[in-house]
Amino acid sequence: MAASFEEVQNLYHNYVMSTYAPELVLTHGKGTKVWDASGKVYLDFTSGIAVLNVGHAHPQVVAAVQDQATKMFHVSNLYYHELQGRLAERISTIRGGGKCFFANSGAEANEGQIKLARLWGHDQGKYEIICMKNSFHGRTLAAAAATGQDKVKKGFEPMPAGFVHADFNDLDSVKAFITDKTVAIMLESVQAEGGVIVGDTAFLQGVRSLCDEHGLLLLCDEVQCGMGRTGSWFGFEHAGVSPDVFSMAKALGSGFPIGAVVASPNVADVFQPGHHASTFGGGPLACAAALASFDVIEQEGLVAKAKEKGSLLKEGLEDFVERFEHVVEARGEGLMLGLVLDQDAKPLAKSLEEMGLLAIPTAGNVIRLLPPLNVKDDELEEALDMLDDCLEEMHEGGDSEVA
């Protein structure tokens, strides 16, 4: 018998630091579905926060990890391992060139690209990175310093120096921060934790031009919007922009921890032996999971599916904007979508959870929807029905329904 909710909650209460505030015990998953300790089933429209792009327990990923586990769990980066080379080749091929450094998480991949940019600019005395307000880059000190939200920095000061914050989607604001110390501009092509805010094409192209004019690197954080999530392999493709360096993590290993820094060759070669390292980075289990994830995404056509299913879901959300007074906007790209309310999104997320749909409240008033890219049409419909019911409930009591 699996432990009850109360037993697991007590274990956490007594022995796990309280950095999170979970309210469910999940026991297993399959595709878009997950089960809790009481046996209740949910549609998982969080995908573990954009990690499970191929869904829970995809048989090909499971088989790849099982197979590799019988051969070798770990190889030190003091030695070559074929799978790390194969994975780097795969990423480089999809990207159209470039070399990889492997880490274990999004924050660590961002640390890697920050260090690479600093080393690249070091001899010219350039180190400052222009980041964006409302961005999110992770919880290590440098990634938190790059993040444009005070709540991740509060209490941890002094923050590492060398980061300034411009307004996202405002090119003049970025321009105003460029000095002879600037080495790079860093951004998410779609701000995810910030509330699913898509970077304007003109803005992203403008930033690319600024980088070219001033000899700066463009760093993209593709940790959440990469791996097909937005309907293209990488979020920056929507704007036709090519960064010099970008980070990946979340969906790269379908839940097996792995992150990557991907850099164009002239920048990548700045890293030489001794400059940067990670014990576990690019280990064989992680690379096996990532290679299988690429196989699944390609074989099942999931990049195109993200676009197709994303527009279906967005249509449904736009309908809510028309019908419900307190729903103000549906935004996002592909299957990274946000439903914007005129009030705190947490109560709605809670009632969705009770009904059987997991979605993430973010940036105060946004419900973030991130289903697996192979979500089925009937699952999309079921989720929209649950949203409809919960929105009805939310609007009940007042005369707030527009139609």
Ligand X SMILES: *Cc1c(COP(=O)(O)O)cnc(C)c1O
Just list the catalytic residues. Answer: 136, 221, 250
Among 61, 192, 345, 380, binds ligand X (CB under 6 A): 192
Give exposure, 222-235, as e/b (b: 16+ Cβ within 10 Å). Answer: bbbbbbbbbbbbbb
Give the list of residues 6+ apart from residue 54 with CB closer than 8 angstroms, or none: 61, 251, 254, 293, 296, 297, 300, 302, 372, 373, 374
Binding segment for ligand X (CB under 6 A), chosen from 114-122, 219-227, 283-291, 334-342, is 219-227
Query: Measuring CA to CA, which residue among 207, 264, 201, 222 is closest to residue 137?
Result: 222
In angstroms, give the least distance from the CB of 109 to ligand X: 8
Q: What's the CA angle centered on 334, arms 331 and 337, to 5 degrees?
A: 35
249 to 106, 109, 197, 374: CA distances (angstroms): 5, 7, 20, 19
**Distance spanning both ends of the chain, measured CA to CA:** 49
106 binds ligand X (CB under 6 A): yes
287 binds ligand X (CB under 6 A): no
Query: What is the per-residue binding string for ligand X in 368-397, x denoting contact by CB under 6 A?
Result: ------------------------------
Binding segment for ligand X (CB under 6 A), chosen from 122-130, 134-142, 303-311, 314-322, is 134-142
Question: Which lies closer to ligand X via its Cβ, residue 251 or residue 375?
Answer: 251
Backbone phi, psi, residue 48, to 5°: 60, 40
Where do the H-state alpha helices sit in 215-345? 265-268, 284-299, 302-323
DSSP 24-68: --EEEEEBTEEEETTS-EEEESSHHHHT-TT-BT-HHHHHHHHHH
Binding segment for ligand X (CB under 6 A), chosen from 37-45, 122-130, 186-194, 354-362, is 186-194
CA distance 383 to 25: 21
107 binds ligand X (CB under 6 A): yes
Number of CB atoms found within 10 A of residue 349's CB: 20
In angstroms, give the least distance from the CB of 106 to ligand X: 2
Number of CB atoms found within 10 A of residue 378's CB: 8
Angle separating helix axes 302-323 and 284-299, nearest 10 degrees: 70
249 binds ligand X (CB under 6 A): yes
Which residue is it, tokens 């009030």?
343
Question: Which lies closer to ligand X via its Cβ, residue 107 or residue 367?
Answer: 107
Q: Beta partners for 333?
A: 336
Question: Which lies closer to ligand X via its Cβ, residue 224 or residue 365?
Answer: 224
Binding segment for ligand X (CB under 6 A), chosen from 65-73, 115-123, 185-193, 384-392, is 185-193
Among 101, 136, 236, 271, binds ligand X (CB under 6 A): 136
Which residue's beta carbon is nearest to the bound ligand X? Answer: 106
105 binds ligand X (CB under 6 A): yes
How many residues bind ligand X (CB under 6 A)? The answer is 15
224 binds ligand X (CB under 6 A): yes
In angstroms, give the least distance from the CB of 148 to ligand X: 12
In angstroms, give the least distance from the CB of 49 to ligand X: 6
Among 138, 310, 316, 361, binds ligand X (CB under 6 A): 138
The residues binding ligand X (CB under 6 A) are: 105-107, 110, 136-138, 188, 192-193, 221, 223-224, 249-250
